[in-house]
Structures are given as structure tokens and as C-alpha cells.
A and B are shown apart, each in its own frame.
Chain A
Amino acid sequence: MAQIIVKKAGPGVTLQDEGRAGYLAQGLSRGGAVDRLALCEGAVLLGQSTDMAAIEIAASFLTIEITAAVRIALTGVPMRARCNGDALVWQASHALPAGSTLELSASAGGYSYLHLGGGVAADDVLGAKSAHLAAGIGQMIAAGDRLAISDHDAGRAGLALAAEPSTKGAIRLVATPQTPLFADAELARFTATTFRKDSRGNRMGQRLVLDGGGFGAKAGLAILSETVVPGDIQITGDGAPFVLLCECQTTGGYPRIGTILPCDLPRFLRTPANEAITFAFVSLEEGVKLELAELVRRDGLRGHLRPLIRDPHTIPDLLAYQLISGVTRGDDLDGDPS
């Protein structure tokens, strides 16, 4: 079986898949890849199922050696990617020859993904391969680890997907049961405020920072703990918003000002740390419409695959590459890019 030998790994490198839905009643949040669009894009780039495990790199770095020829895809927040010293294009699939060293570095923050053709092999725990560190399932990937990759991979590489949607524009919210606990003026100030991500974000949640005062619900209202969902924006004790992510606790007692639409969560996750973030409320009906449209878009992502165009003059050791699996006539992707 082909193996990945981990040479260097910073903190925050874990194996992730679609996570464990269905255990909320037992206090276990779904977890899985924080950026589920990136997981889907990787699967599309490699022409495989979305339930395969990929390596999530959370504002970190990773260097691996690969014992056999493999296909990879790179999605999520772009990093500097090099194979045996040569630059690889992000948001694309690549065929790497046996013995390659792949170096992923210079993360701009956020969540980046390395997908392997055939997926990373690992034992299932409660139906998934994902590490859920808050629940004590799995562990971080560390230097010296060896991960197995399926040998049964066949497909093309050298394909690219445009990174959509862009990170521009307000992140859209629907109201929560506690939104009415905030005065209208407070809600208006919230949607008029520019936020940035705090450096302390993790898979459980992302704190936001703002210029000016924090937010507060109307005084004297104690809230009994109830179920919380990823995308919920809690207003914590100091008035700063805290966006819950996929490895969050399952219940919470802080008032929640709004819930980010799942279709806008990847935009939020991919927004660079120093970039402005604003929020806008949409009606539930509008939210449902946007969500259903995104489901259709993701179903059709394969139709947006394009051959990766590379200028041969910029590839110094062209002959060293195994090009066969990436070869395409160039026009055969317009029909059925399977």
C-alpha cells in the first residue's frame, strides 16, 4: 500500500472527512472538515466520493514524502505548495511520481486541504475517520507518522477549479431564537460593524474583534442552555462575537445574535485574518433559497473542471514528471469530465 511519510508537521494538521452526524443527542458535535466546500472540491478534482478522508492543515505547515505515484488535490485557503522544489498550482489536482517530497507552507491562516487519490486509509471510529480532538478522538498528525493511501486509485490529474464563491460581500445570517433579545439599535449596529478574525480561532470556534464596544442582549435575561449549531454567532461575556464551528460544544447558554448560512460559512472561513468581515441578515425564505441554490451548484461542480494550463517553459525538469495521468486533449472536459 502506498504510504505518506510525514517529515514535518506543525500543530493543527489532522485527518478529516464529513464527520459524525447523528450524535448531537449524546453530546458529540459533527466535527469533520471545517470547510466542507473544500472537502467537496477536493473530491470533485479527483473524481471521487466526498466521504474520503483528507488532511486538514489549520494555519500550519506539512512536508511529506510519498512512497508510490499518487494523485493529489489542494483546496481551501491557498498555501505555497512545492513538489520536489517545483511550485504546484492551488485549487487543482496533480500527479506526483513515487518518492516525491511535497511541501506545503506559508499558510495565510484558515483551513487548507490535501486530498489523496483513493483517500487516506484509517480505521473508522463511530463511522468516520475524522480526528475530533475536543472529544478525544484521534490525534494531530505529527512528524514520523506514516499514513496509508489506497492503491486502487485511477483517474486523471492536472485539473483545476475556480475558487468560488469569492470572499467579498457581507456574510449572510438568519435570525436565531435569541435574535429578538437584542435591541433593534444593537442589531443595526452589528450589521454596520466591520469585524476581523481574532488570532485565537480553532476548530471549535472563531472569535471576532471589532473597533468600538461589544454587543449585549437586553439586561436581565438568563438563557437556559440549549442546542447550538455550527455557524451560530454567540455574544460572549465580553461582548465580542464568537462564531461556532464544526467541533463546537453541542449546547450553549450565551445569546446568539444570528446563524451564518452554511453556504456562506466557506466564505467566512476563507476570509484572510486582516480582511474586513461584515454581516447581513436575510429572511428565512431567502436563506433557504440560497442554501438550495448552493446544493445545486455543488452538484454541478464537475462541470466546472478545467485542464490545468501550464507553460512548459516554467517547468525546469519537465521530463522528470509522469505526465500520462494528467494528459487531456484539452476539449474533452467540456462534456463529461468524469
Chain B
Amino acid sequence: MVTGDGNAQRNGNGVIMTTEPAQRSRPLVSTLGVDGFLVSFGAQLSEPANRAALAYRAALETADIAGIAETATSLTSVYLRFDLAAADHARMCQTLDDLLDSRDWYAASLPEGRRRWRVPAVFGTDLAPQFEEAARLAGLSPAQAVAALCAAPLRVQTIGFAPGQPYLGELPAVWNIPRQSDLTPQVPQGALALAIRQMVLFSVSTPTGWRHVGQTAVRLFRPKAPDPFLLRPGDEVHFTAVSRDAFETLRAEDANGGAVAEVIG
């Protein structure tokens, strides 16, 4: 029986332990609330832990286990909620352990059906007033910073916090800049904010401690659309710098804010 005491560490399979015993944390199964479990693949964000969480959740969904009401991923962990009247903790925990032991989740590949999105963004100007400050903290000129942020696609590591909202990473080490000590009271929908080698593209207007470096016209959550959530974990987002004028045109004329996708895997 696993309790919420955080000590119930479970092994992955033998491959994990023999290949990288020192670097790799083992999956940790804890209870979350009275009717849920959290399976954590790492206390820090890493590519293998992120892939493991996505693959493990996909396997749970595919297995269609009786009593499971809902599953979700965050950056390196999987949450599941179950129906207390239909299953108990001991049985559910055994199911989770058996699935953990069935393969090396850290070696999992990314989900299928991934897409690469090209998303136009304005960096700086009054639309994204903290861009220059963030560039300075990264030790880059504004031109270098734009080039760096648009150089390569970023991975959607998880969707969460707000509906359809992606955490994008991982940025090069120069972008390991801290959150602000004070919150920005409000950034608009479509704002691109940066901290600790990650960016968040905000799906709703919100306060944030991350620096507002770019602005997009993309709408990540459309409650009444047939496919309400634009992005999925595993997708890539490649930003393209556009002028303020070009941005205003996209915002006025393109429901997608200029975002286009191609299937990559």
C-alpha cells in the first residue's frame, strides 16, 4: 500500500537501473488526494522524464483500466483519478506498478501524430515590454535574442495550468533566467513569457511572474470549436519574428493568428 508519505519509491525495470543508475531518478508512486495517484518520473525536468510521463499516460489510457476516471500529465508526472466505489488503492497501485515494470518508460519515443507549428510573434515593442530586459539577463543584444528564440523549434512539454496552454522548451542555457519577484498584473491572451529555459504561450489573460517577451495572435483554446485545443504535448512550436504591422494584420484577418502546422511524426 502506497501512502502520501512520499517514501514509496518503486523501481522501473532493470534496464533503467543498469544503464544510468546515478543520473536517472526512479518513478515514484504517491497518492494525490483521497482518490488519485501521482506517478512521478523525475523531480527535475528532463527530456527522458518528460517522454516517460507522456508515454506512461498514453499506455494507461490505452489499457482502459476499470475504475480510472481521468488521467493527465504534467512536465514529468502522470496523475490519475479513480472511482473509489469501483476500485481500491491497493489494486490500483498494483496496476500502476505492473505497468511501470512492463518497459523502460524513460526510453519511450514521443507520441505519434505530432505537428510542427509555425507561429508568428512580435518580440519587444509595447506589445511585449519585457523583451529587452530578458535579453539583457541572457547577455544578448535584442537582435541576437530574437535570432536565438526563433532559431529552432521548441517542444510542447506539457499542456496545463490553463486550457490549451503549452510549456515550451528547452531553451539554451543562457535563458536560465529567474522568474520576477513581483507578478505582472495581467498579460493578454497569446502572450509569450519566458523564465528558467522555458516559454509559456498564454491561452487566457492572466497575471504571471514570467517575463513577457513576445506577443502572438494565436488562439490556443476555442471552447465552441470541434477541436477546442490547438496544441498537444509532443508538438513543436517554431516562432517566426514579424513586425508589429504584420502582427496587426494577422490579428485582424487570420483566426489562427498566422499559425500553420505540418505533421512531423
Residues of chain A in range 154-186 having any CB-CB distance to chain B below 8 Å: 174-181
In the docked arrangement, what's the CA distance between A125 and B73, Å? 23
Taken residue by residue from 140 to 169, chain B's Cβ proximity to chain A (1 for < 8 Å, 0 otherwise) reads as 000000000000000000111111110000
In the docked arrangement, what's the CA distance between A24 and B36, Å? 13
Question: Do A28 and B163 touch across chains, with their CB atoms under 8 A apart?
Answer: yes
Chain A CB within 10 A, most for which of B5, B85, B161, B204: B161
Q: Number of B residues whose C-beta is below 8 Å from A? A: 50
When distances are taken between beta carbons in the complex, the residues of chain B under 8 Å from A283 are: 3
Chain A CB within 10 A, most for which of B38, B203, B223, B224: B223
Any A CB within 8 A of the CB of B56: no
Is chain B's binding surface mostly helix, strand, loop or mixed?
loop
Any A CB within 8 A of the CB of B215: no
Question: Do A174 and B73 touch across chains, with their CB atoms under 8 A apart?
Answer: no
Question: Do A26 and B44 touch across chains, with their CB atoms under 8 A apart?
Answer: no
Taken residue by residue from 116 to 134, chain B's Cβ proximity to chain A (1 for < 8 Å, 0 otherwise) reads as 0000000000000000000
Any A CB within 8 A of the CB of B7: yes
Question: Do A226 and B228 touch across chains, with their CB atoms under 8 A apart?
Answer: no
Question: Do A225 and B161 touch across chains, with their CB atoms under 8 A apart?
Answer: yes
Q: Number of A residues whose C-beta is below 8 Å from B? A: 43
Whole-angstrom distance between the Cβ of B214 and the nearest chain A Cβ: 20
In the docked arrangement, what's the CA distance between A177 and B33, Å? 9
Residue of B nearest to A290 (CB): B34
Residue of A nearest to B165 (CB): A27
Any A CB within 8 A of the CB of B45: yes
Any A CB within 8 A of the CB of B84: yes
Residue of B nearest to A286 (CB): B34
In the docked arrangement, what's the CA distance between A175 and B36, Å? 12
Residue from the list A21, A27, A261, A292 in contact with B85, Cβ < 8 A: A292
Question: Do A261 and B162 touch across chains, with their CB atoms under 8 A apart?
Answer: no
Residue from the list B28, B84, B88, B163 in contact with A26, Cβ < 8 A: B163
Any B CB within 8 A of the CB of A126: yes
In the docked arrangement, what's the CA distance between A291 and B82, Å? 13
When distances are taken between beta carbons in the complex, the residues of chain A under 8 Å from B81 are: 229
Residues of chain A in range 118-167 having any CB-CB distance to chain B below 8 Å: 125-126, 134-137
Any B CB within 8 A of the CB of A262: yes
Any A CB within 8 A of the CB of B70: yes
In the docked arrangement, what's the CA distance between A288 and B162, Å? 29
Question: Do B70 and A21 touch across chains, with their CB atoms under 8 A apart?
Answer: yes
When distances are taken between beta carbons in the complex, the residues of chain A under 8 Å from B88 are: 288
Taken residue by residue from 284 to 319, chain A's Cβ proximity to chain B (1 for < 8 Å, 0 otherwise) reads as 100110011001000000000000000000000000
Any A CB within 8 A of the CB of B77: yes
Residue from the list B74, B159, B224, B229 in contact with A225, Cβ < 8 A: B74
When distances are taken between beta carbons in the complex, the residues of chain B under 8 Å from A284 are: 3-4, 31, 34, 89
Question: Do B165 and A226 touch across chains, with their CB atoms under 8 A apart?
Answer: no
Question: Do A259 and B33 touch across chains, with their CB atoms under 8 A apart?
Answer: yes
Any B CB within 8 A of the CB of A22: yes
Whole-angstrom distance between the Cβ of A204 and the nearest chain B Cβ: 11
Given contacts A225-B75, A292-B84, contact A175 B4 (CB under 8 A): yes
Using CB atoms and an 8 Å cutoff, list the residues of chain B in contact with chain A.
3-7, 28, 30-36, 38, 40, 42-45, 57, 69-77, 79, 81, 84-85, 88-89, 158-165, 203-204, 221, 223-224, 228-229
